[in-house]
Amino acid sequence: MSRKPKKGYFVKGHFVAEGSELDLQLKAELKGTPDASRTDLKRESDELQDLGKELLSLRADLFDAVGLPDKLADALAEAKRITNFEGKRRQMQYVGKLMRKLDPELVEAARQALEEQHKGSATEKLQLHLAEQWRDRLIADDDTLAAWMAEHPSTDTQQLRALIRQARKDAQPAGKEANVQVSQGLAPRKGRAYRELFQLVREHLGGTGTADASGTGEGEDEENGDE
């Protein structure tokens, strides 16, 4: 008994069976409402919703530079204010709705602003890490001073030497205090010179020098260590 041939048609040499997924897709495209585009639209909608969430963490100067419409800027500000989970969820849905109405140029500007912030954060972390390495090397090894001065000849040598000496002195407690630190496995105490040395190194590496190892958790520990 011969099998009944499938109904269908050929498109560019390929057989398309009626009722198949490809058949439905092609027919939808002919109607001008392709089903495939629904998936794309949903994906784009989700991406814009996520972009709106990321804008909540955007720095104020970068946020202002994007030039978002007042309604969207106000909605984002309100979302930051809301602490209730359900209320925040509803507000972010509203933000997503406004995001979908944005001109493509503004969407791209928002993405670029977030990318710039991300790059800046990564660079900042690298600079902090490098400053920490130089500080520790300067304290640990006398030969490092010459290497530092060769790369940063504008550094006040007298100030740098004084900070290194004091940082070493602070790290070597005497008598009973030293015995307590050894017995309890505590790290050496880090005083003011340790922080000021970091700030000096940071400034010459191109940083602000106003925060002591910001983001590493050192600042708080060292402040406590001074008490």
pLDDT digit string, tens, across residues 11-61: 777 777 777 777 777 776 666 555 546 677 777 778 888 888 888 888 887
122-177: per-residue pLDDT in tens? 777 788 888 889 999 999 999 999 999 999 899 999 999 999 999 888 887 654 55
Q: Are residues 139 and 76 in the same domain?
A: no
pLDDT value at residue 221: 42
In a domain, 110, yes or no: no
Q: Are residues 97 and 162 in the same domain?
A: no
Nearest to 168 by CA among 177, 160, 176, 156: 160
Mean pLDDT of 175-196: 61
User: Which residue among 102, 134, 157 closes a domain?
Assistant: 102
Nearest to 171 by CA among 189, 184, 159: 189
88-133: per-residue pLDDT in tens? 889 888 988 888 888 888 888 888 888 888 877 777 778 888 888 9
Which 8-state DSSP code applies to residue 187? P
* Lookup: tokens for 21: 């997924």
Other beta carbons within 10 Å of 194: 25
Can you give the pTM of this predicted structure?
0.43
Compute CA distances 89 → 36, 55, 63, 92, 96, whole Å: 28, 15, 21, 5, 10
For residue 6, what pLDDT band results from cuts at 50, 70 and 90? low
Q: How many domains does the chain have?
A: 2
Q: Are residues 131 and 53 in the same domain?
A: no
For residue 212, what pLDDT band results from cuts at 50, 70 and 90? very low
In a domain, 119, yes or no: no
Torsion of CA 57, 54, 76, 96, to 10 degrees: -170
> What's the CATH code of the domain at 205?
1.10.60.30
> What's the CATH code of the domain at 54?
1.10.60
pLDDT value at residue 139: 92
Q: Are residues 97 and 149 in the same domain?
A: no
